[in-house]
Chains A and B, each alone.
Chain A
Amino acid sequence: MPDKTVRVASGQGFWGDWQEAPKLQVRRGPIDYVMLDYLAEITMSILEKQRERDPRAGYARDFVDLVIDLAPDLVARGVRVVSNAGGVNPESCRDLLVERLADVETQRPVRIAIVRGDDLMARLDDLLAAGHELRNMETGEPLEAVRERVTAANAYMGAGPILRALRQAADVVVTGRSTDTALTYAPLIHEFGWAPDDWDRIAAGVVAGHINECGAQASGGNTLFRWREVDLIEPGYPIIEASADGAFVVTKHPSLGGRVNWASVTEQLVYEMGDPTEYITPDCVADFSTIRLEDLGADRVRVTGVRGRPRPGSLKVSIAYRAGYKATGSLTYAYPDAYEKAALADRVLRGRLERLGLRFEEIRTEYVGAGACHGPLAGPPDPELPEVGLLISVRGESRADVERFTRELAPLILAGPPTVTGFAAGRPKIHEVMAYWPALIDRAVVEEVVEVEVTEA
């Protein structure tokens, strides 16, 4: 079938992305798969915390609502869902799906697959004892240094387990920590039967995955190129139309807004890019310097020429550990001399914190309207500014000290510089800081425990 085209649509670029997007992708035109990315680096530790409080929590709840809403359409249209919504608890995610699907009418039962094996938390001490040091990829330090404070440890899985699920005719695939790109290229490997060492084609799939993984960022969202001209009220999220040879077209449903052109695709390609010749995934190393783009017009961009190299022997592990507490307070100062008033408030507050003997690792002050984003590049603050927002943040090991800081903002209203407002939100919230520890692990250690389980509902 040389002419076979497979369409993988992007439906969610992060947890909290636009809920209408996946529904529009399924209902506004032909697609074969919709990929939904829910997990950022920090998300796993948030989910781990939720599971500690409730053993049935720890996954993306929004995902369940979405699948329940879409289930009749998915079955009727033959669209399959590939998602990493399972977080640290794919089983409970599946259980709730099964329970709620009992009340949904579909033409035939829905097959749900869950993927397990990425979660290394329970195995951590055994792994360390067996000599896997899980050294920090940036600092070289062994994990032992922060072991007591680790709250989550997950390996990034590639296409393997998703392929196993698709071969068992799963309609909905729910993984834990999969790479974002695998959610797009696993369906392509499955549909076209690409060999596991067909590095160029898999690399093409990785590029397609990188384009899909941030939702509308590839189709007109958050773009600097002619940004005034994009209809963003109802943007079409990107759709990959792939061919067996690895070439693909990036497009969107014509009835939706947004924009796909050489600029929107290029902007997404360079997003979160390191060394472009070494884009490392569990299934190949893609070389982004080989990508050729051709803008075909009418919201279609053709991507060809992608080259890849063999996959690495190790998988990346994302580890989160507790690293103290932080809080941010804000106040707004009005014209005239808004910046000067805010800067005086900052000095007053810091003086009070010092006299209280509070200890922080860092105190940071930023002035919204006067360089909070671009710092010294913004130039000196203009005394004519209509208002300036004062942001003061602290971070430290002592929760009590951070808590005391949150009580020092409000007094500035009556006992600080004049013409201040913007305290309606109340006392600042205290957040536990979860630091990120990237490491590598021998892939066999993870692959030997990966399980795929399919249930009909």
Chain B
Amino acid sequence: MRVPLWRVAFARSGDKGDTANVGLIAYTDAIYTVLKQSVTADTVRNHFKGICLGEVDRYELPNLRALNFLLHESLGGGGTVSLMLDAQGKTFSAALLRMEVEVPEALVREADEVSGWSERA
């Protein structure tokens, strides 16, 4: 089924100069395997069109069920030079979690248990 990333993963973002980093963490190992295929440097770059003006690098951390993305030229120059409200890319995590991905329904249900979504829905 097609779901926003936040149904199956969570994230944290920060800055290094004009580069934003977003660490995407899958709720389960099986979901990590799915996201490793679909959430690539290219799909992330496309998702952040108009926000990320440079390249996107991706690093895999299977030990943490995480993918780390570096979004270059995304923070208006970075640091105190930047005029952006979010000059440190703190909300880029939530922005990535808007991306839609295809995940088998059974795996989404498993994620819902971990995230607590099933208790609230």
Contacts and interface: CB of A to CB of B under 8 A. Distances in A.
A290 B63 contact: yes
Interface in A350-383: 362, 364, 366, 368, 372-377
Contact of B64 (A274, A277, A291, A434): A291
Given A266-B66, A270-B25, A271-B12, A42 B51 contact: no
Nearest to B6: A224
Nearest to A368: B85
Most buried by B among A323, A326, A436: A436
A226 B116 contact: yes
Interface stretch (B34-42, B91-99, B102-110): B91-99
Q: How large is the interface on A (under 10, 10 to 19, 20 to 34, 35 or more residues)?
A: 35 or more
B31 to A, nearest CB: 14
B83 A435 contact: no
Contact of B81 (A222, A375, A391, A435): A435
B66 A366 contact: no
B30 interface: no
B116 A273 contact: no
A279 B85 CA distance: 28
A240 to B, nearest CB: 18
Interface string A259-285: 000010011111111111100000000
User: Does more than half of chain A's interface fall in helix, strand or loop, or is it mixed?
Assistant: mixed
A435 B80 CA distance: 6
B51 to A, nearest CB: 5
Interface in A389-426: 391, 393-395
Contacts of A438: 17
A293 B15 CA distance: 25
A431 B83 CA distance: 11
A394 B82 CA distance: 10
Q: Give the top 4 A-B pairs by smallest Cβ distance, nearest first.
A: A270-B23, A393-B83, A364-B83, A272-B14
Interface of B: 6, 10-18, 21, 23, 25, 47-51, 59-66, 68, 70, 76, 78-81, 83-86, 91, 93-95, 97-98, 115-116
Interface of A: 41-42, 138, 222-226, 228-229, 263, 266-277, 288-293, 305, 323, 326, 328, 362, 364, 366, 368, 372-377, 391, 393-395, 431, 433-436, 438
Given A42-B80, A270-B68, 4 more contacts: A228-B116, A266-B64, A434-B80, A435-B81
5 contacts: A224-B94, A291-B64, A373-B85, A375-B50, A375-B51
